Structure 1
Amino acid sequence: MKPSGPLFTLLAGLLLGIFMLSLNATTGTKAKSSSDAATPTPTAPASTPATSTTPPAAPSPTPTPAPDSDYAGRTADDTAAVSVSVRDGKAIGYFCDGRSQESWLKGDVEDDGSMRLTGTNGARLDGVLHAGKIDGTVEIRDRTWKFTAARAVRPSGLYRATAEVRGAKIDGGWIVLPDGRQVGILNRDGKPVAAPRIDPASGAVVVDGTRLTARPVVP
């Protein structure tokens, strides 16, 4: 016997409803999975670098060049005198015992006041300028003298005279100390003797009856 029309219609509607429910369930799961995949994973915010609180380094002090001046003094054993003239970072020095031993030296003065002056036959003066004086050593022919040379104000300081007198070559060096004492050597054709006194005010000096002028020495 054939089923009636209404029963067939009801059965078909029930099957269609079950199919639709199954389809909706499947579609909803897939949509949810796709939505989850599309959502970006939150990331932690980048940390802000800590601001340094270390104060900037203080600028280095600008070196001060050695002042232009003249210096004169005695060796520690009081057997000789030393004078140094400083101009524009250059220096000329003179060591003299007033009898037979002398040496002219020259070199540079560093911004910290240190200096190394050199002369003939390996002569050397090492010194440091500070507090208005030069402390150092002079080395000549394997012998060393310590000295201190204080700032000298004219007429104190270093003098030299060169000339030809009666056929002889004259070369004289003088150190006028702050207390007025003079130490010098006069060379006649390379032979040293004690130098005659000069007039510090004018530099005048008489050598073998001839008047010469000793002039201040500067680098």
Structure 2
Amino acid sequence: MKRPGPLLTLLAGLVLGLFMLTLNATSGTKTASSSYSEASPSASPKAPAKTSPTPSVTPSPTPSPSKPPVANANYAGRTDDDAASVAVSVRNGKAVAYFCDGRYKEAWLRGRVNNNGSMKLTAPNGAVLDGRIQQGKKITGTVKDEGRPYTFTADKAVKPSGLWRATAKVRGAKIDGGWIVLPNGRQTGIVTRDGKATSAPRIDPETGAVTVDGQQLTAQPVTP
């Protein structure tokens, strides 16, 4: 029998090589790049969540108690030069005052009283009173009338001392009278008849009774 020749052996080797090449193409071997792409990416570590600091609560300051209004009271006294009298009536944070020399000069003043006892009262004729209550016992200050300042001290007054006023029609004339009764009983007052000022007659400080031009009137304590 003849052995297969070299050509047959070569053909057999070629067929075997083609078979092996076809097998590799069919089954395939994963490459390194494909393996890398399919691998699960490693998770990046999460940064710790920021927590807002708890705001500190500042306690509200305790409000200081407001100073109470000045007490209701009446005051009466003289100017330092003894030229005129001054009376002030304080009620519920308001004040009315009367400045009078007992002859022709007078002024009715009004305004508010601050919690510290200070006050600035004004009159229609332009007079101004600047004063302050001192520990509830007296008022010290200045009345400026017709450009002239009068310093004064008015002590706390108890009825019948204080400020009085009477208005009426007497014999066709309009009467307006004002009186200041000091704690020692001294009186200063002016009565105007249709705007003309004259010295006022004395009043009874217990009742307020007064006779003007033959007609009896009753003066009343003055309050704001």
TM (normalized to structure 2)?
A: 0.75
**Of 37, 40, 44, the match for 1:30:** 37
- Distance (whole Å) between structure 1 residues aligned to residue 151 and residue 173 of structure 2: 34
- Distance (whole Å) between structure 2 residues aligned to residue 77 and residue 52 of structure 1: 64
Q: Residues 81-160 of structure 1 correspond to what in structure 2 (within 5 A)?
A: 81-129=85-133, 131-132=135-136, 133-160=138-165
Structure 1 residue 3, shift from structure 2 partner: 4.5
In the alignment, which residue of structure 2 is the partner of 1:187? Answer: 192
- Distance (whole Å) between structure 2 residues aligned to residue 13 and residue 76 of structure 1: 136
Q: Name stretches of at least 5 consecutive residues in structure 2 with no aligned partner.
A: 1-9
**Of 24, 40, 47, the match for 1:43:** 47
Structure 1 residue 112, shift from structure 2 partner: 4.7
- Distance (whole Å) between structure 2 residues aligned to residue 8 and residue 179 of structure 1: 148
- Distance (whole Å) between structure 2 residues aligned to residue 134 and residue 46 of structure 1: 67
Deviation per CA, 1:127-149, whole angstroms, max 9, x where unpaired? 33452143332111111122333
Instruction: State the one-letter code of the partner of 1:118.
Output: T
In the alignment, which residue of structure 2 is the partner of 1:78? Answer: 82
The runs of at least 4 consecutive aligned structure 1 residues that moved more than 6 Å come to none
Change (3 A) 1:31 1:190: same
- Distance (whole Å) between structure 1 residues aligned to residue 177 and residue 79 of structure 2: 20
Instruction: State the one-letter code of the partner of 2:41.
Output: S
- Distance (whole Å) between structure 1 residues aligned to residue 72 and residue 166 of structure 2: 22
Q: Residues 5-20 of structure 1 correspond to what in structure 2 (within 5 A)?
A: 20=29
- For residue 120 of structure 1, give the secondary structure of its aligned residue in structure 2: coil
In the alignment, which residue of structure 1 is the partner of 2:181? Answer: 176
Deviation per CA, 1:136-179, whole angstroms, max 9, x where unpaired? 32111111122333332211110012234455543221111233
Aligned Cα root-mean-square deviation (Å): 3.4
Instruction: State the one-letter code of the partner of 2:221.
Output: P
In the alignment, which residue of structure 1 is the partner of 2:56? Answer: 52
- Distance (whole Å) between structure 2 residues aligned to residue 49 and residue 130 of structure 1: 54
Percent sequence identity over aligned pairs: 52
- For residue 27 of structure 1, give the secondary structure of its aligned residue in structure 2: helix
Q: Name stretches of at least 5 consecutive residues in structure 1 with no aligned partner.
A: none
- Distance (whole Å) between structure 1 residues aligned to residue 44 and residue 180 of structure 2: 93
Q: Highest CA radius of gyration, 1 or 2?
A: 2
Change (3 A) 1:208 1:46: same
Change (3 A) 1:60 1:13: farther
- For residue 41 of structure 2, give the secondary structure of its aligned residue in structure 1: helix
